[in-house]
Chain A
Amino acid sequence: MNPLLILNTALSSVGANKLRAGLTLLGIVIGVAAVVSLMAIGRGARETVTSRITALGTNLLFVRPGSATEGGFVFGQGTAQTLTLEDALAIEDPVFTPDVVAVAPETSTGLQIVAGSQNTFSITLGVTSTWLDVRNIELSSGRPITPVDVANELQVVILGSNVAEQLYESGAPLGQTARLDGRQFTVIGVMEHQGGTGFGNIDDQILVPLTTAHFRLNGSRTPQGDITVATINVQAAGPDALDDARAQVESLLRLRHRLGLDDEDDFTVTNQQDTIDTLESTTDTFVVFLAAVAGISLVVGGIGIMNIMLVSVTERTREIGIRRAVGAKRRDVLMQFVTEATLLSAAGGLVGIALGSAVAELIDGRTFGSETFQTVLNADVAIYALAVSAAIGLFFGIYPAARAARLDPIDALRQV
């Protein structure tokens, strides 16, 4: 029996019961649509993250405290309080670190910020005057934090663009006051919109002088009384000097922290690329996980197809008998039902791809809550989804088809 004839037969059998075929397809349609749209969202997020980090420049190093250990438990990276302001000042000294051009330490606390009747929760970074330059962030208005602000622990604040929008709908935040942890702060600047989504988005954060953060907000000290910092941003002389700068920072900090030869680092140094890699692999893992969950509905859809094919085989027993009587071999019957199942499933896949693409297109660039979605549709996902749905039909169609093929012609014909 030639392939065209098989396809034609399958098409007319599927077409003979359109409602049923449609309902059977629904599982596959939803599964494929979910996978396609989630992949598009995931890829969009990945691109946003990458472009945002790349925009920072590539000659940055981030020094963070190592993991805290307590009673044998190892906490996450950055949980120890081993980095101090003194460390930052030491790194700035060109004697130890000739390849470092600028250093910007920061502390970090989550605080409620209140302005009039508006309030929002934001990550409050305590920074020095170098921070904006090192992080390559411009102000859209106002002035940066100066060494004077830091020296005098002045209660001034620079807002991220989203925070400014949320707190001051009138659009003129400069010179206004805001309350942080019960204290009055004066808004001295607003950062330019950086874009991007997710945790750690600078648009959702605010900057205060590091000393203010430490002494007036909830700062923390080491047992020796030093000011601890969350991150030290280190700017290397250039992309080529990055490795040297890293080595210099590492040996300096080991010295300062009095680490012996056998001791592990109590801090970590990462660069942009590390951050991009981690974030990308995190988003990738997340997307794959979501897609896997969506994939489960594909399997459910496949079971639906198997179910309907089993019903179909039972209903069409006599047809099978007739076909066997006019010369169909077992494998002809097998092929017919497998083709039908695959066709059903692949059709569902096509509809699902269309639906998923439409959903991805629809949410592209839209903002939900504080997240702006960016979606990226790729042909490979569509091809993959189509192949998977066809494979599911094939897989779940084989058992019903084998049952059809196993029927004895005479038993099949006797069926009323």
Chain B
Amino acid sequence: MTTPVIELQDLRREFRMGDENVNALDGASLTVEEGEMVAIVGRSGSGKSTLMNILGCLDTPSGGRYLLNGEDITELSDDRLSEIRGRYLGFVFQNYNLLPRVSALGNVELALHYRPRRGNKRALAMEALDRVGLAHRSAHRPPELSGGEQQRVGIARALVSDPRLVLADEPTGNLDSRSSDLIMATIQSLNRDDGLTIVVVTHDDEVAGVANRIISLADGRVVEDRIIEPRIVVSPIGPSGPEPVAPSATPTPDMAPGVTAPDPQTL
């Protein structure tokens, strides 16, 4: 049997708030094997984001063990953690987290900045943009892109470094259902076609249904863990696939009436 990508044993994360301790994670244990697509669900405040931050080596647990590819990350230096983030992990954020003054291509290329030179970075970035169907938007800056397009740039940035694990915390949280489907189709395709291991946090049952395993959190613990038959989202885009149907070329955020606007890019 191969080493699991993620192995959590009794993971804890405490936050001190004044004299009070918040146990955001209170003994969470789980294992994710290579090639799985896992959705993490749970009520607000159940510790999903806290878990994702630890999985992404952006935060360290206060107790328990986290083995990433068999490597105990609690013992690693800050430099080594940075290296792991750059080489093995890809992040997709709810608010996209793109650099507003840099082109889509530049944003994708950024994920290749902090690693030893390997091939033509620009060409790799272009390839990744093409993979999410945005090659024709490569020169646009984030403010000139719709929310859905921005998120696809975010996905391209996560996949360009050829990671072993992609982590997405509410990737569709700011999008309407149509762009949401497009995003999930793209992410699902990374899993099904490229064999990437993916962990997605979501509130949305539709979105969770795209995964093949759903883990429920409550009060910082795993309360349910089940394998499901994934809903296959038909992707209108693929590797050098046709033009996307949903987003228009104009920089209007693609959202339905009544849906809150995406986070303005404040960077």
Q: Which residues of A approach B to under 8 Å, CB–CB? A: 1-2, 5, 9, 12, 16, 316, 318-319, 321-332, 408-410, 413, 416
Q: Which stretch, B83-91, B194-202, B205-213, B222-230, touches the partner chain A?
A: B83-91
Q: Are B85 and A325 in contact (CB under 8 A)?
A: yes
Q: Are A327 and B115 in contact (CB under 8 A)?
A: yes
Q: Are B59 and A327 in contact (CB under 8 A)?
A: no
> Is B16 on the interface with A (CB-CB < 8 A)?
no
Please give the distance in Å from A324's CB to the nearest CB on chain B. 7
CA distance A331 to B105 in the complex (A): 25
> Is B29 on the interface with A (CB-CB < 8 A)?
no
Q: Are B114 and A2 in contact (CB under 8 A)?
A: no
Number of B interface residues in the complex (CB < 8 A): 28
Q: Which residues of B approach A to under 8 Å, CB–CB? A: 53, 56, 58-59, 78-79, 82-83, 85-87, 91, 93, 97-99, 101-102, 110-111, 113-115, 117, 157, 161, 266-267
- Our count of residue pairs bridging A and B at CB distance below 8 angstroms stands at 75
Name which of A2, A9, A331, A409 has the most chain B CB atoms within 10 A of its CB.
A409
CA distance A12 to B117 in the complex (A): 21
Q: Are A322 and B85 in contact (CB under 8 A)?
A: no
CA distance A319 to B115 in the complex (A): 18
Please give the distance in Å from A149's CB to the nearest CB on chain B. 84
CA distance A396 to B151 in the complex (A): 38
A residues in contact with B111, CB < 8 Å: 326-327
Q: Are B99 and A328 in contact (CB under 8 A)?
A: no
Q: Are A327 and B58 in contact (CB under 8 A)?
A: no
Residue from A316, A318, A328, A416 within 8 A of B113 (CB atoms): A328
Please give the distance in Å from A255's CB to the nearest CB on chain B. 83
Q: Are A329 and B97 in contact (CB under 8 A)?
A: no
CA distance A312 to B157 in the complex (A): 24
Report the nearest B residue to A322, measured CB to CB.
Answer: B97
Q: List 12 A-B contacts (CB under 8 A).
A: A1-B113, A318-B97, A318-B266, A318-B267, A319-B99, A322-B97, A324-B58, A327-B86, A327-B115, A330-B78, A409-B58, A409-B85
Name which of B86, B98, B115, B266 has the most chain A CB atoms within 10 A of its CB.
B86
Q: Give me the 8 closest cross-chain CB pairs, A-B, nearest first.
A: A327-B86, A327-B114, A326-B111, A410-B58, A329-B82, A410-B59, A409-B58, A328-B114
Residue from A318, A328, A413 within 8 A of B82 (CB atoms): A328
Name which of A322, A328, A408 has the most chain B CB atoms within 10 A of its CB.
A322
Residue from A5, A12, A326, A408 within 8 A of B85 (CB atoms): A326
Q: Are B267 and A319 in contact (CB under 8 A)?
A: yes
Residue from A1, A321, A327, A331 within 8 A of B83 (CB atoms): A327
A residues in contact with B98, CB < 8 Å: 322
Q: Are A329 and B87 in contact (CB under 8 A)?
A: no
B residues in contact with A321, CB < 8 Å: 97
CA distance A156 to B229 in the complex (A): 122
Q: Are B78 and A326 in contact (CB under 8 A)?
A: no
Report the nearest B residue to A5, measured CB to CB.
Answer: B113
